[in-house]
Amino acid sequence: MPTRNDIRNVAIVAHVDHGKTTLVDAMLKQAGAFAAHQQLDDRMMDSNDLEREKGITILAKNTAVKYHPKDGGAPITINIIDTPGHADFGGEVERGLSMVDAVVLLVDASEGPLPQTRFVLRKALTARLPVILCINKTDRPDARIDEVINETYDLFLDLDADEDQIEFPIVYACARDGVASLTKPDNGTVPGDSDNLEPFFSTILEHVPAPTYDADAPLQAHVTNLDADNFLGRIALLRVEQGELRKGQTVAWIKRDGSISNVRISELLMTEALTRKPAEVAGPGDICAVAGISDIMIGETLADTENPIALPLITVDEPAISMTIGTNTSPLVGRGGSGKGADAKSGAKVDRKVTARQVKDRLDRELIGNVSLRVLDTERPDAWEVQGRGELALAILIETMRREGFELTVGKPQVVTKEVNGKTHEPVERLTVDVPEEHMGAVTQLMGIRKGRMDNMSNHGSGWVRMEFVVPSRGLIGFRTEFLTNTRGTGIAHSIHEGHEPWFGQLTTRNNGSLVADRAGVVTAFAMTNLQERGVLFCEPGTEVYEGMIVGENSRSDDMDVNITKEKKLTNMRSSNADVAESIVPPRKLSLEQSLEFCREDECIEVTPETVRIRKVVLDQKDRGRTASRAKKA
């Protein structure tokens, strides 16, 4: 079959924070993608604000570099897909792998293969893609290169890789310094026989297959991602499998339901570095973007009008976690962070989106580009069940909507169960924990409460222990905060979906109850002084509260209704302790993720552009009491 030797398509996959985006940065710089005078940021591919804040890749993105071989041959275009390293964004990984012919598996020289390494490698091996192993961060003081390579071989064998897949080339790199080598350096050192990424580029050219095609085949192009432009409208990112795609061409659009309609390509764009540039034609193996089809969806096919042949739809793993997302139903809806007006801090008017129609439209828009998400109707017309891969993926969606001006009520995360042979099965996770030896007992006890089953334990002799547990997904809701507390902030934990197992039984993951405001008003320092011995408070003086809002964590297991708005009575009688200064313990500020972890079944979260509040589902104190008494009698 004919081959396009002027192009290579490769995806870079790895666990979170093993250096994918840093390596892509170095490839772009050394391939001459930027002018000498350009001001460049770190992690250029992380263009999303949330990606920069959290330091993780959320969306799969493609770039292209022109590599000029040292032997003076014609330049070769290397299309690079930077994929997320977190399993919660697995839909992005699966779409990225459908566009490439090989993967670069990046592994930290100290941490070795971790759960997300297993996840992305399993997807690559299932797709029958060749693998190039890159051992990154060889300059880490605790690097253990030989052991990490052996662990990677063990992982390939564990995932049933065949002989061809396990014979992979190995590159050693320090992506931060832009250096790679084919010779193994000493532990803790930068490769010394090279001062650039030339060995890495040559390995890609040698081991990544060039795209092949049938010269007589009709057009076939697969839509793998979507984007939007203020001038062009919806943009479809696709890989041309067969034939040629031209600007102004009329093509057959094969939709997900099998129907076919003819459409015209109004604009054709090709990626160079970080920008898309107009092009006239895209051939087999090219990754390009087209405009002019307003309702095109991921997984659909553009084909020849005379002989339309559909490509297989992109399939993703089933969702494991669900949340109920609805309109804000609290007494402070539409009133800003202080409850006194829209965005009082900046003085700017916030375009608040508080209606059910606006929330539903936004969730429907999210479904267009996020194939791993599902939105289901509930009994209420203003609330929907949103299912996703994991807690982080759903928290990112809520945070994005919040920044767009939405006010929401979000329920406690739940697991998505399924029936197998008449029995309820729930999703389970494989949790890998790295902790100092002295905290091993505390972690084991913590996992025992959450029905975790230890699967493996290893000690590398460095004072740290690595333990692997199989634990129900609902046992990890609220786990991270308690884990960091028990390990004094030193522990590292990562998990990945492992499948479904029979229901593990009842779990009690939060022992403490809540401090609940019993009336509306403004928090006073006097009331906080008297309440802080009852537990940990979440709000500060001057915060407006309402009945049913959770203002703190009780030191006991049951909930307590408290008056946090109580004021000190002013009289003309001098008190013996009138001049004693009262000190207030600083309140604990909960982020959105921490609030989701803290929530119980009868609690939910109020999310606004300015603040995150935890509240009871039923705000009225008497109604909650009646519900509790009926539950006890039942």
The answer to whether the annotation marks 511 as part of a ligand binding site is no
253: exposed, middle or buried (C-beta count within 10 Å: 0-12, 13-18, 19+)?
buried
Determine contact, residues 101/511, Cβ cutoff 8 Å.
no
Alpha-carbon gap, residue 422 to 589, rounded angstroms: 44
**Secondary structure (3-state) at 376:** strand
Length of the chain: 634
CA distance 289 to 229: 11
19: left (phi over 0), alpha (psi -120 to 50) or beta: left
Q: Which amino acid does the sequence have at 634?
A: A
At 254, phi and psi to the nearest 5? -95, 110
Cα–Cα distances in angstroms (integers) from residue 589 to residues 124, 381, 530, 563, in the given order: 41, 32, 19, 20
Distance CA 441, CA 514 (A): 28
- Is there a binding annotation on residue 83? no
Residue 551: both structure tokens together: 């203002």
Please list, in sequence order, all residues whose beta carbon lies within 8 angstroms of the beta carbon of residue 527, skipping any fewer than 6 positions away: 563, 564, 565, 566, 567
Q: For residue 471, give both structure tokens.
A: 């634990």
Is 18 known as a binding-site position? yes
String of DSSP letters for 188-203: TS--SS-SSSHHHHHH
First and final CA of the chain: distance in angstroms? Answer: 71
Q: Is 602 annotated as a binding residue?
A: no
- What's the Rg (C-alpha) of the chain? 28
Cβ within 8 Å of residue 625, ≥6 positions away? none
508 is in an annotated binding site: no
Say whether 136 counts as a known binding-site residue. yes
Is 623 assigned to a binding site? no
Is residue 444 part of an annotated ligand binding site? no
Q: Which residues are annotated as a binding site?
A: 17-22, 136-139
Q: Which residues are annotated as a binding site for GTP?
A: 17-22, 136-139
